[in-house]
Structure formats: C-alpha cells, structure tokens
Structure 1
Amino acid sequence: MHSRLRRAVVGVAVVVALAIVATATFTVVTVRKPLPEVSGTQNVPGLSGEVTVHRDAQGVPQVYASTPEDLFAAQGYLHAQDRFFEMDYRRHVTAGRLAELVGEVPAAIDADMVIRTFGWRDVAEEEWNLITPESRGYLQAYAQGVNAYLADRSPDQIALEYTVLGTTVDVPAPAPWDPVDSLAWLKAMAWDLRGNYDDELDRALAYGTLDDVDLVDELFPSFAAGGNTPILQEEDLTTADEAGSASRSATDVVTDVAWGTEALDGAVASAAAAIEAVPVLVGTGDGTGSNSWVVSGDLTESGAPILANDPHLALDVPNLWAQVGLHCDQVTVECPFDVSGFSFAGFPGVIIGHNAELAWGLTNMGADVTDFFVERVREDTWLRDADAEEWVPMEVRTETIRVAGGDPVELEVRSTDHGPVVSSVLDVGDVVGSPTEAGTDFGEYAVSLAWTALEPGRTADAIFAMSTAGDADDVQAAAELFDVPAQNIVFATADGHIGYQAPGRIPERRRVAGPVPADGTWPRPGWDPRYDWQGWVDAEEMPRALDPDEGFIVAANQAVLPAGVGPALTKDWDHGFRSERIRELLADQVAAGRPFSVADMNTLQNDDWSPFAAALVPVLLDVQIDDAYDAAGQEILAGWDYTTGTDSAAAAYFNAVWRNLLEATFWDDVPEGMRPSGGSRWLVVVRDMLDRPDDPFWDDRSTVNVVETRDEALTQALVTARRDLTVELSKEPQDWRWGALHTLSLSHPVIGGPDVPALVRDYVNPRPVEMPGGSSIVNATAWDASTGSFAVTTGPSMRMVVDLGDLDASTWVTVTGTSGHPASSHYTDQLSAWAAGETFAWPFSRAAVEEAATSTATLVP
C-alpha cells in the first residue's frame, strides 16, 4: 500500500483502538456515527407521497409506495443509508477517478489511466440519451433519493471510510449522485463478465513461449472435449428457424491470408498488464460464473416451478448484492412494480429476483464480446489496410487524472476504428513474439480493444423490463435490450412455464483462413479489414426455449447449444462439470419419483462432490510409491467419496496433489501470467493427457538431458503434496483438514488490505471462515492453483430459491449482510449462515413482510 494511505490507516487504527479498549463515547462519535435511523418518520425531500419501509431481522428493506418514482427515490435513500461509501468508491472507479478519492496510490492511478482509456463514463453519458424517458425518470428519482440522504451530512456522518481517508487527504462532502453514475456502474458489471478476453491473450502469450499452435490448442480444448451437456439441444429451441445449422456470424469465408511469426509478445503483455490494472468490482477468473436451474411444476411438491440461482463472483465486504423489495401499493399500468430480489447499491431496481408472476436467474453466458486487434502504428497513425497501404490518423484525446494530495497526471488516449489502444497505457515491456503478418517497414505494434460495451446500449431499460415481465414474450423483449453483459436467463412463471433466453450484443465475425482461427479466440490483425466485426447477431437468432420435454433447464456457464447449432457465441465455454453434476442429481431425483422441494434445491446448491477427484483419483491410486512415509497421503484417497467437506483429509491431500501436478507439468512451459489456475479447462487438459504418457507437457524442460513422462509427474505430485501438508498441517494424514487450507478471508476494498494495521483489519474485515467445495464444484468456492494458495477467490455471492407455488416459501442469503457500516449488526450477520449453506426466509406478500418486520420507517416529503 502507498505510504500516504498507510499513514491514513495508522491514524484510524488509533481511533479504532481507543474505541475498542474503552471509550464508549468515542465509539459512538467515531464508529457508530454513520449508522442510520431505520425506524420512525424521516423526511425525504422530493417524494410525492408517503413511503413505508419494513425491515426484517436481517435488515432487508421492503418498500411500499404509490408511484414508481417514489419507490426508486426511496431505494436510493436506503442504498445511501446503508452503502454509500461502496457506491462512491464504485463511481470513482468507473469514472477513472479513484485517485481523487484515495490519493497518491500507484495502483489507483494505474486503474484510472486504463479506465479513462476505455472511456466508461463517456459511454454511459451517451446511453443517457438512448434509454427511454421512463428509465431516465427512474434513474433521476433514484439519484434524488440518494442526494436527499447526503444533504446536510458531513462525510464522517455518512461512512467510517471517509474518516480513515480524511486523516491524510482532504475529504470534501461527496458530490451529488448523478443518474449517469448509475449507468457507469453497468460498465463495471459488463467488464468483469466480458467472456474470453483472458483466454485470447493467453493463447498469444503461450505461443510466444511454445512457438507451436498445436501445443497451444492442446491447452485450450473445446467444450465438446469435456463430454458434458449444453444448456439446450437443438430440439429444445422454441422454433426450427432459431436452431440454424451455422451462424451468419461466420459464413463469409476468406482465404489466402499471409501470416508469419513476427514479434508481438511485448505488446500483448503490455495489454494484459493494462487489463489487470482494472479493479475487480464483480469478479474475474475461472471461478467467476454461476449456477442456475429451473424445474417444472410437474416435478415439484408445490405443483409449480422452482427456480434456483447462485452467481459465483468476487467475495468482498460489503457484499456485491443489496437485498430489497419494491412494491407499488396498487399494481397498475402507472405503477407496475411488485418485485423482490437482489439489487446493486448504486442502481435502481432489482437485478435478479421475482415478481408476483415470474422469477428469473442470471448466469454468465461467457459470449465472446471482446477482441484484441494487433495494430501497426506510426506515431499517431495506424495501418487500416495493408494491401492498400492505407495509414489513417488515430483519434487522440488528453485526459487529466486528478490525485488527492498530489499532482495531476496527464494521459494521452489513442484509439483506432477497433477501439482504444490499451497496450501503451502502462509502460510495460518491449515488442517481441506471436503469429502475425510478415513484413518489415510497418511501424510498431500496439494492441487495441474492441468490446461491445464501448458502444452505448440499453441494458438499463432491460433491468426495469425484467422486473415487470410476466411471461416468455416479456423476457424475450427484455433480452433484446440487455446488451451487456451477455447473460443466460432462466425463468419460471406462476402459471407453470419454465424457460431459457439468451440475450446480449454478440459481434459477427468472418471466417478467415490462416495459421490460427479467426473466430475471436486469438488476437486479430488490425491491418486487414476482413477481420473487422461485421455487425451484431440478430436478436431473433438468440437461443431460447420454453417447457423442454426433460422438465428442467440447467444453465451453469456451459455451452448454450451443441457445436454448429445456432449463432456463434464463443468457443471458450466453461467445460460444464458443475452443470453436469446438477443435471445428474436432478435426473436421479426425477427417476426416483420424488418431487422437488425448496429444501432439495438448497441442498443441491451446497453439493461439494469433486469432478476433479472422480477423474484423477483412480489414476493416482495406481501410482507405485515405494517409501511408506511418502505413500501415507496416497492411502487416504482409497475409499474417498470425492466430497470436499471442511473436515475431509482426502480433499486436503488431493487438492495439494492437483496444485503440485499443475506446477510440475506446466510452469516450465507457459509464461508466468498464464500459469494454470486449476479450473475446468485444466481438468480437461490433464484428463486427456493421462492417455498420452509421453505428451511433451509431462517433460520438465528445466532438467537437462532427461525426459520425464506421465508417471514421473504423478509420482512427484503425490510425494510433494504429502511433504507439503506435513509442513502446512500435520505429520499425521488423519489430522489434515480441507477447511484448514481452504478459507475465505473477506477484505474491505479500501481499508482492509494486507498492509493495513491488524487492529483496523480485524475491525473492518470479518474473521476468516473455513469453506467446503472448490473450483468447478457446485458449491463453487474457487481457489487459484497458480498462486500456491488454497484461499477462496470467488464463490456464490448469494443463493436464492424461488417457489412459484408459494412465493413466501422462497429462501435467500448473501455473503455478508445488508449494511456497509462496520459498526452495524447487519454488516456480516448473514456470513455464518451462508458459509454453512443455510438460508433465510424470503417474505414477499405484504402480510408475510409485515409479520417478519422488526422495524418500520415512514418516509415523508
């Protein structure tokens, strides 16, 4: 952490220390000062009438108003009450103004430089004029409610974080909330869920080391290689027209493109460094995905559909989601909202949830909505067409990044027709290696980013449309507006239907013959216009299904359709081990004739059976280890049922073997930046390699004149894992515990980092919790093998189960709680239940809400 921010934290450490050790008065003044009133009558200027807010035992607000504008104004007021610093932090990030908030922190300045290059805020301002007048009215009402709460409150009355920052930098009163602040937040959501950008860069980086396209391809197997089931089959599609035999986005075949092997790795590495500088606000990596499924009422106890959803995202404190209910006193055309679910602090409405007629869940579709274009540049011109030797000016602008307590930073942003040049944002590396066009006098290399979210869209309209949707046609209409991020939508209706809908703005690409595919899986040559995007996949072509014969739909980031069916969405799907396990358990219960309940769905969400163990343990047990001490770890795998509970010694040992096997097998072959994380793709890679004992990846390149094979790599992984756990846990294998290694440590994004004094960390960060599960397990508490650590990196950011037959019987839970104030009883009051796989009652009807209420506030004009 930068020294100034460290001094700021030390200052607040003294404050917190005093509060903890004795001074109750100081505690109230400093730590509890930002806590809001949640009962009684509160004045909210701008309301047109009285608004009632009931909060339950978890502090979840259920809002009742007579107009939609009053609903959203109240939601803005409540979000500001509970979570304003989180909102303010996010808007600074999305506007490229984080250094204005936290000061001279190099990581913040780097983030601002990259996000200013993308121009998120500029795109959001363009969207303001694109969305409907109704949506603009809702966003304005929301902003009005936020500002009503901020009015006449000093920073230390709003959030503790301002007190921390105020010890070293000037912290003025927060600027009023602008409706565009909300739209800009959608760019952050789209960015973290943008699809295969990391695989695309990794392919280019791997080629620079391996110099062999076939070897690179081996590290990126197709979804079909995993052997798992897509979300839909061709016969599930709503109409035959939508099935299609091939995508229009890949039908134009162009041949005879000359490619060579000139140096590009430096430009690609520089682009990758720029991408990594963007703060994670939603979640990234192999663990970023989600589970969702919906089951027909023919198969449930209630006789109505049941829908389950648990998005796997970054786990922070406060949690990403803010639970809320938004209810018009009388549901009419003029006031159509009666919806409850999970919102984002900073945006009005409900992102995932249900109304009285329909429930919906979202999972990341992973569509390929980004492409990196390798550009030839000379000063401020770029080569648009090599054949025509057409050099054209770049678009150039200057951005000024203001730094609290420091000097401003000037940034020159350059863009081509493909998008902003990202490789020159941060000063990283020289230009060296990846397949591209041969040639000499073509200037320098640069990398630009084409991303669908850099075109203004109408996702905001889609969010409000989903909240009032009642049937499949409504969902399809909302999906046409849901430009980014591309999400799988599963839904169920109170009148008995279940369905799937794919939304999203998906680029159309030509097929271009060359040494690597031109399908978006590799960076594209910017000097050949034939590689340019050709438009967007038509909304009518996006896959959808209603009431499939199977009686259930599972969407968990796997392929939407079999290869060659429907539009070309991406080649880089999750490999479907979570979805396959969910399908298997659902099919088993259907075959047993036992109807599904809400409790069954909660149990399934917490399933911790490991497909990694099922694939690899039988092979590991066949490895001969002569030394009895070294073999003691291997022995505990015998008879293991492959579940990964916190007390499992076998899970601890197996995951140590998996970590070490990936290191021994691949670290000598790939750049540091693409070391195996251990997710579903790597399971397919290693599983397939087991049938090739002499695959070149088994060989350790660092051993001279020795060629290792599969059995040597497996033996090494088994032995080193036994010795590692002896050091990390115990000499006795029976004392090993997966939970002791696999822990979740939640960290506040500004005052909870590792360089913060322990006293402050202990106050704002919850205590670490042991977790079951793992990567590509239904209970997807992912960890990153490339770090050497088993710590949880992403996981189920919330869990919900909705019974359309009895909405009041539905359940929900988030990772932490409804409040962003560390002194609040609702800061982390859901954490222990979430970690244990438990949920809370989710009342929806007014009678159930009022019965569950523990406090009531009346908001008046």
Structure 2
Amino acid sequence: MLILFRWLLRLTIGLILMLVAALILAWYFAVRSLPDYNATLRVPGISAPVEIVRSTENVPHVFGQTDEDVFFALGLVHAQDRLFQMTLLRRAAQGRLSEVYGAGALAADDLARRLELYRTAAASVEAQDQATQAALTAYARGVNEWIGQVNARAMGRGAPEFFVLPQDIAYWQPADSLAILKLLAASTSNAVADEVLRARLSLTWPERGTDLLAETAPAAALPRYADLFPGARFAPVEARLDPTPDRDVTQMLRPNGGLGGNVFAAEAGRTAAGGALLASDPQAPLVAPSLYYLARLELTSGGVIGATIPGMPVIFSGRNPQLAWGIAPAPMDDADIAIEEIEPGRVDRYRGPDGWTDFATRRETIRILDEPARTVTLRGSRNGPIVPLLDPGLADATPRGHVPALRWTGLSTSDTTMSALIGMMRAADTGSAATALGRVVAPPMAVALADEDGIRQITVGAAPQRASDHPTGGAMPVPGWLPQGEWSGQLSAVIDNPTPDGIAFATEERSPLGLRRSRLGWLLGDREVHSRDSFVAAQLDIVSPAARSLLPLVGADLWFTGEPAASGTPERQRQDVLNLLAEWDGAMSEHLPEPLIHSAWMAALQDRLIRDELGPLADDIRTLQPGFVDAVFRNRNSAGVWCDIVQSAPVEDCTTIARQALDRAILDLTQRFGADVASWRWGDAHQAYQVHPGLGRMAVLGWIVNLSQPLSGGAFSVSHTGMMAAGAEPFQARTGPGYRGVYDLADPDSSVFILSTGQSGHPLSRHYDDLAELWRRGEYIGMSLDPQLARAAATGVTVLQPVE
C-alpha cells in the first residue's frame, strides 16, 4: 500500500509539473505574439523612413513622406494589433470560415459564396482609381510585411488565436480589402429581411397580417402575397429563427443583418465656439475586440484621424484639418427577392419572361475542419444568385417548386465605393467630399459633412429604379418572370438633404414614424447654440421615445385604479410597478427598474396581441413595433381587432390585454430577479456581452477574453443598442455604437472619440479592453492631429527604415 501511495504521489506531482510546464509554454508563445511598439524595423516597400507614434491609448499616429508609405504602415499596424480579426473578416467574405470553425460555419460559407462577395470584389479592383489602387497595394504590402516579420522572428504566429484555431495565413491582396467592404455592405442592408417578413405575415393573415409592419410599407398598398403566385402551394408558416441565437459571432459581420447608426451636425452659426460640430456613432456587432480601430494618418493632403476597420485603408468616420465626416446607413431599399419557378423535372432550368431557360451554374468546394470537404452547386438566374439561406424565413415565402434569387446593388463587379471613401478622406471641403462620394455603390450611406463654411447632409449609393407598376414596390418578393418586377437600372447620385436652421441629422431608420430620428431632431432643435458637450450629451441620450409615447396610451385605464392592495400580493406588485412607471421620464438607465419593466411589458403585450393570429410566426417577431401598438390602442384603421383573442368566447378589449401582459411580465421578472420590484435593474438584463469570435466559446478562455458589462440605452434611444430578443437573455445587447466620435472644427484638437473595447486584439495586451469602461460610462479620449501631443505621452515609437 505504501508503494502504491508513493507512485500515486509521484504521478500526481509529475502531472502537476507537466501542467505547469504546459501553461508556462503556452504563456511564453502567447506573449511572444505581443508586438514591441518601441522598435526599428528594416522593411522593403517604402521610399523613406516612416514613424509610428502610439499614444497612451495605443492610437497609432503614422508619419511618412508619401501616401503609399503611410498606407503601408497602416497595414502593418492593423496586422500588429488585429491580425486574427483581419483574417477572420477575410474568411467570412471568402466563404472559408468552415476551415477554422468546422461544420457550424458551413451555412455562412455557403451564403458568402452565393453572394459572390469575393468574386465581385476581385473584379472591382481594376475599377478603382489610380490613387486607390496604389493605396490598396501599399496597404497589402504592409500587412504582408508584418506577417513576414512574425514568421522570421518566431513571434507566436502573430496572435494567440492561431494556436487554438490553427490555419495558414495567406498573404494579403488588394481584393481582400474590397471583399471586407462588400461584407460590410451586405451586413448593412435589411431590405430582404423586411420583404420576407411582410410576405410571411401576408400568408399567415392575408387581411391584416401586414398591419404589423405598416409603418414601413402601408398595408393598403400591398397585394396579398399568395395572389402573386396563383395556384402555387406554400408550406405552412413556421418559426424559423433560432430561439437561442449563438452569441459567439463566428462572422463579425452577418449578411442581411441591418446595421445602423446616427450622424448629426450643426453649422458654425449654431455653435458656441463659432465652428461646425459633427458627431457619428456607427453601429456594429458587440464583439471583442471592436470592429473599429482608431488611427491617425499623415497624408500629403493633411492629417486624417478617426475610425478604421482593420483590413481596409479607410477612415470611415473622422476628420482632417479642414473637414469632418460621419456615416450612417441610408434607409434605402437596395435589394429585392425575385422568386424563380423551376421547370418541372428540370432543376437546371427556370421560367423567364420568354419561357424556360438555363440557370448559370458553377460548383465550388468548401473545406471543413475535421470533416470531408463538400461540393456545392451555386446557381444564378437573370435576376441574380439563388440565395435560399439569405434569410431563414425565405423557406416560408418561397412556393414549392420555386427558388429565391437576389437583386442587390452590391453585386456590382465595378464597385467604386472604396475609391469614393478614400477620396473623401483627402477632400478639403464639403463640395469636393460630396463629389468623391458620388462614386459610392454599396452600401447606400447617409453622410454628414462639415467644414468652415457650413454643413451638408447627403445620401449616396446606387438606388434601384423600379417601374411604376411594380407589383409590390419592392416591399415583398415578386415573381421573377414578370417584366414589371425588374429593375430598369440603378441610379448613383448625390442627393442633398435639407439642413433646416443649420442642423443636419440622419439615422438608418426606414420607418416614417422614426422615433429615434424624431428624438434626435428634438435634442438638436431644442437648443439655439450647441457645444461639443451638448453633442456628446445628445449622442449619449438614453431616453426612449417609444416608452414615452406608448406607456400613457397602453396604461391609460390602469393607472391608480382600485384601493391599495396588501403587501406581498400580485395586485400590490402590479400597483407598485404602475406607480414607478407613472413617474418615469423614459430614461433607459442601467440603474433603474422602470426600463426593465417597460421592456418586459411591451414584449409581453405585443406577443399577446399577435400570438393567436400569427401562431408560430410570432416567435420570429423579435423587435417591438411601436407604430403597430399605437395603431391597435388607438383603433386606427380598425386595428383594435388585434386585441381580441380569437380562440376565446368573450371579446377582449385592449385594456384587458394590457393588464394581462403586465401581469405576465411581472411574473417573469419576479422569477428572474425576485419579488422586490424596486430592486430590479435594467443593467442586470441589458448587458453588453462582447464575445471573442475565436476563443469566446471555450470554457476557460472565454472567461478571460469575453467582456460583459451593464449598459444604459435601448432599441429606441439615440444611444442605440440592438437586443437579442430571444432565448434566456432577451434584453441582452447584441449590437451597439462600437465607435463614437464628436468633431469640433472651432478647436479641432478638442475633438474626441472612443471604442467599445480597446485597440489591441491580443487578450494579454493591456490595450485589449482599456477603453471598454470609458465607453460604457459615456467618456471619450482626445482626438488630436498635433504631432507633439502624440509624442509627449507616447507608449511606443516604431520606426520603419527602407531596405536600401
């Protein structure tokens, strides 16, 4: 027995020593991939020395003799800090995520290839102007130089993720940057999602189903969807969205995702300091690290500073010495679904205007980690690629014997959007910036511009031209063989939008109701004179106009009714809740219970209104439709009929439904957070859970690399967050302002910006999450083009010396 004990002791000690050695070895290789920011590197591909000065927050300030040298250095610093993120975005655009993530990413790869993101990007390289081609080439050389440095100096493969998710790191190509821009364009649009949902609503309740989305397309103007396909058979409408969506976003950008953002500006005459102001906060998936990366470039046209996306040599929102700009997705319907009928017995042919015709077909092989490769057949019609996986609900909206094809402006093979954006960076005033932006194709953009002479708010991008007799006006899918459903062309133009009283603002909202847009307009119009601080306050505004408009209406017959109930009873709990809501100003503060009560009540109310009429489809209605609820409770166009529960004998009124929904919400919240209503907190449910797309799903590593923090704001506040609205955490923030910037042209170096995480994508770097808490609290860091300020507090200076 003693001998056995000794051997067990020796074995245990040996295993412990092996584990310690393995941890030390893993730590060593992980630390090896941390870049040294104080270094001198001899590199080919530059014409003169380049200096990269990193500020306290690790913002690189790049100084070079030529623009090509500066873009080379930007590629290098992007690769230093975000190499894994860059390769992940490239794989998402190429349709090669399965090589790293396995079969779970197969659907994403299949869709990316059907959308031809990389093929159209590669074809668009030659369409760029000469300066942009030079920038793309120089940027790619910089990325590749860092990859070469990593290999030559054994720097831990460049990022620790590459040890856990091993992969070959191909050298960067100019087409890679264009492909990521294509992926961004695909992720910005939600036109298809809206079309498909309207079609499913029409199929479920032909008479009134589209009431739910009437604020984005008047129901009276739309035909019954089934009537567009006489004699066709549809599968029963079902819930199609995953009830427990994966928080590990394997692709940081998701086609058909519908990203958003705000942008607003005030001309000099409306500001205290006598210079124009501009603010921008583009939405992005809340992942770690952030999609955005802060950088300053010293170009021959002047310094440029703001938000980049690693993988592209563009500052999407920022300023130069004379001009500031911000971008939000434009509320433009840039995509349509055409339903193609397949010839019976011939899956390779479809119905065209003049009879049956052949699909364009190609086969591609998708390699899958730890599984045999799969060959997929990709088909295209005269209307575009066949995309059955673009939206889960397409299965309901596609009749049997038919397939969906996509018309989308982003399918252009001569897309000059990159040239437009790089041209804007070099512009000296709003006029030249608008001229440059006239080359934008996809995504359509609402752009605010400001210079010393004034402000300008424009819409740019290719706009589909639909016939006046289009069957649905682009609001629902159409039969692909109908000539009147075709596009007559695409119009690329700069559309000037009014800037009344020296104020400009835009959001991505497509609804005429535009609650967030209205709130932003009120904030900007409420003051005669603005300052940087008032713009910051507007950007951080957390008041929900949906709460302010709906609560008095929905609770009109519930406030202060009946005698006070006994403590501990459900009736008393309801009274406490209503008393809190009656005195609430609509601020979605993480520290208050009212936002949580309001959100749970409205979610339960909408579900109770639509569940009996829509059946399983109600599970896929995951965002509150304030216009619909307003119409129902005002009985506009007889919408009050939604309040009656069809399956019950009595006729329910809206007050009854409102009370039942409130009781349901209180019961659910009590089960989660306890019976004390006053102790509930919005921040307990509304968390910004920023998941690392490579390591976040791994038990131990996920605890290290994922970021979670409570967040104020909501789906309708100017400080906007898109919620998961499904599963065990329905109010968790899924998207949000990954970048915020406020630019003051009266004192440009007092401009400010912030990221939702940190600059570095390396989990062991102190700059991995050092900005996250500032972002959550609504704080910013300085944005200066002064070289001396950058050098005064530099955390490192990298010098690139040309190889002679």
- Would you say 1:409 and 2:377 are equivalent positions? no
2:683 pairs with 728, 739, 744, which one?
A: 739
1:216 pairs with 209, 212, 226, which one?
A: 209
Further displaced range: 786-795 or 621-630: 621-630
User: Which amino acid counterpart does residue 144 of structure 1 have in structure 2?
Assistant: R
Cα distance between partner residues in 1 of 2:291 and 2:19: 28
Secondary structure, aligned partner of 1:109: helix
| Equivalence for 1:191 | 186
Q: CA deviation at 1:85?
A: 0.5
1:483-508 C-alpha deviation (Å, 9 max, x unpaired):
11001000100x23100111101110
User: Which amino acid counterpart does residue 202 of structure 2 have in structure 1?
Assistant: Y
Cα distance between partner residues in 2 of 1:739 and 1:351: 31
User: Which amino acid counterpart does residue 780 of structure 1 have in structure 2?
Assistant: H
| Equivalence for 1:518 | 472
Q: CA deviation at 1:671?
A: 6.2
| Equivalence for 1:481 | 439
1:829 pairs with 754, 770, 776, which one?
A: 770
Secondary structure, aligned partner of 1:151: helix
User: Is the 8 Å Cα contact of residues 479 and 501 (structure 1) preserved in structure 2?
Assistant: no
User: Is the 8 Å Cα contact of residues 723 and 734 (structure 2) preserved in structure 1?
Assistant: yes
Closer, same or farther: CA 818–694 of 1 in aligned 2, 3 Å: closer
The within-5 A match list for 1:11-50 is: 25-26=24-25, 28-50=27-49
User: Is the 8 Å Cα contact of residues 200 and 393 (structure 2) preserved in structure 1?
Assistant: no
| Equivalence for 1:306 | 277
Secondary structure, aligned partner of 1:778: coil
- Would you say 1:662 and 2:642 are equivalent positions? no
Q: CA deviation at 1:518?
A: 2.4
- Aligned length in residues: 759
The within-5 A match list for 1:408-427 is: 408-423=373-388
User: Is the 8 Å Cα contact of residues 205 and 269 (structure 1) preserved in structure 2?
Assistant: no
Secondary structure, aligned partner of 2:759: coil
1:193-227 C-alpha deviation (Å, 9 max, x unpaired):
12421110101111221133xx133112236999x
Q: CA deviation at 1:589?
A: 1.5
User: Is the 8 Å Cα contact of residues 783 and 792 (structure 1) preserved in structure 2?
Assistant: yes
| Equivalence for 2:566 | none
| Equivalence for 2:118 | 121
Cα distance between partner residues in 1 of 2:579 and 2:390: 52
The within-5 A match list for 1:68-87 is: 68-87=67-86
Q: CA deviation at 1:452?
A: 0.9
Q: CA deviation at 1:743?
A: 1.0
User: Is the 8 Å Cα contact of residues 265 and 455 (structure 2) preserved in structure 1?
Assistant: yes
- Would you say 1:321 and 2:272 are equivalent positions? no
1:507 pairs with 464, 469, 472, which one?
A: 464
TM-score by length of 1: 0.83
Cα distance between partner residues in 1 of 2:429 and 2:619: 45
Q: CA deviation at 1:429?
A: 10
Secondary structure, aligned partner of 1:750: coil
- Would you say 1:449 and 2:406 are equivalent positions? yes
Secondary structure, aligned partner of 2:175: helix
| Equivalence for 1:752 | 696
Q: CA deviation at 1:33?
A: 2.0
Query: Alignment identity in percent?
Result: 28
Secondary structure, aligned partner of 2:113: helix
2:703 pairs with 746, 762, 780, which one?
A: 762
Further displaced range: 846-855 or 530-539: 846-855
| Equivalence for 1:685 | 628
Cα distance between partner residues in 2 of 1:598 and 1:512: 48
User: Is the 8 Å Cα contact of residues 53 and 856 (structure 1) preserved in structure 2?
Assistant: yes
The within-5 A match list for 1:421-820 is: 421-423=386-388, 444-456=401-413, 457-493=415-451, 495-512=452-469, 517-539=471-493, 542-545=494-497, 548-558=499-509, 572-573=510-511, 575-590=513-528, 595-619=529-553, 620=555, 622-623=557-558, 627-670=571-614, 672=616, 675=619, 679=623, 682-692=625-635, 695-701=640-646, 703-753=647-697, 756-757=698-699, 759-766=700-707, 768-787=708-727, 789-820=730-761
Secondary structure, aligned partner of 2:582: coil
Cα distance between partner residues in 2 of 1:175 and 1:163: 16
User: Is the 8 Å Cα contact of residues 554 and 583 (structure 1) preserved in structure 2?
Assistant: yes
Closer, same or farther: CA 586–529 of 1 in aligned 2, 3 Å: same
Q: CA deviation at 1:670?
A: 3.2
User: Is the 8 Å Cα contact of residues 775 and 783 (structure 1) preserved in structure 2?
Assistant: yes
Q: CA deviation at 1:287?
A: 7.8
| Equivalence for 2:263 | 292
Cα distance between partner residues in 2 of 1:530 and 1:431: 24
Q: CA deviation at 1:621?
A: 5.0
Cα distance between partner residues in 2 of 1:425 and 1:657: 32
Q: CA deviation at 1:556?
A: 1.6
User: Which amino acid counterpart does residue 736 of structure 2 have in structure 1?
Assistant: G
| Equivalence for 1:242 | none
Closer, same or farther: CA 267–431 of 1 in aligned 2, 3 Å: farther
Q: CA deviation at 1:655?
A: 1.4
Cα distance between partner residues in 1 of 2:241 and 2:134: 39
Q: CA deviation at 1:31?
A: 2.7
User: Which amino acid counterpart does residue 177 of structure 1 have in structure 2?
Assistant: W
Closer, same or farther: CA 82–812 of 1 in aligned 2, 3 Å: same
User: Is the 8 Å Cα contact of residues 228 and 478 (structure 2) preserved in structure 1?
Assistant: no
Closer, same or farther: CA 18–68 of 1 in aligned 2, 3 Å: farther
Secondary structure, aligned partner of 1:773: coil
Q: Give the gaps of 5 or more residues in structure 1.
A: 1-16, 227-249, 251-256, 437-442, 559-571
Cα distance between partner residues in 2 of 1:431 and 1:404: 28
1:105-136 C-alpha deviation (Å, 9 max, x unpaired):
22211211121112111101110121122211
Closer, same or farther: CA 661–39 of 1 in aligned 2, 3 Å: same
Q: CA deviation at 1:179?
A: 1.2
- Would you say 1:281 and 2:215 are equivalent positions? no
Cα distance between partner residues in 2 of 1:305 and 1:651: 35
User: Is the 8 Å Cα contact of residues 264 and 445 (structure 1) preserved in structure 2?
Assistant: no
Closer, same or farther: CA 639–476 of 1 in aligned 2, 3 Å: same
User: Is the 8 Å Cα contact of residues 318 and 817 (structure 1) preserved in structure 2?
Assistant: yes
Secondary structure, aligned partner of 2:406: strand
Pairwise CA RMSD: 3.0
Q: CA deviation at 1:314?
A: 1.2
Q: CA deviation at 1:363?
A: 0.7
Q: CA deviation at 1:50?
A: 0.4
Closer, same or farther: CA 80–304 of 1 in aligned 2, 3 Å: same
Q: CA deviation at 1:716?
A: 0.8
Cα distance between partner residues in 2 of 1:284 and 1:325: 29
User: Is the 8 Å Cα contact of residues 459 and 497 (structure 2) preserved in structure 1?
Assistant: no
Further displaced range: 789-798 or 629-638: 629-638
1:773-801 C-alpha deviation (Å, 9 max, x unpaired):
10010111232435461111111111100
| Equivalence for 2:176 | 181
TM-score by length of 2: 0.89
User: Which amino acid counterpart does residue 313 of structure 1 have in structure 2?
Assistant: A
| Equivalence for 2:3 | none
| Equivalence for 1:841 | 782
Cα distance between partner residues in 2 of 1:62 and 1:779: 29
Cα distance between partner residues in 2 of 1:802 and 1:217: 42
2:325 pairs with 344, 347, 360, which one?
A: 360
Cα distance between partner residues in 2 of 1:846 and 1:268: 61
User: Which amino acid counterpart does residue 176 of structure 1 have in structure 2?
Assistant: Y
Secondary structure, aligned partner of 1:667: helix
User: Is the 8 Å Cα contact of residues 188 and 257 (structure 2) preserved in structure 1?
Assistant: no
Closer, same or farther: CA 322–123 of 1 in aligned 2, 3 Å: same
Closer, same or farther: CA 283–499 of 1 in aligned 2, 3 Å: farther
- Would you say 1:382 and 2:325 are equivalent positions? no
User: Which amino acid counterpart does residue 721 of structure 2 have in structure 1?
Assistant: T
Cα distance between partner residues in 2 of 1:75 and 1:348: 7
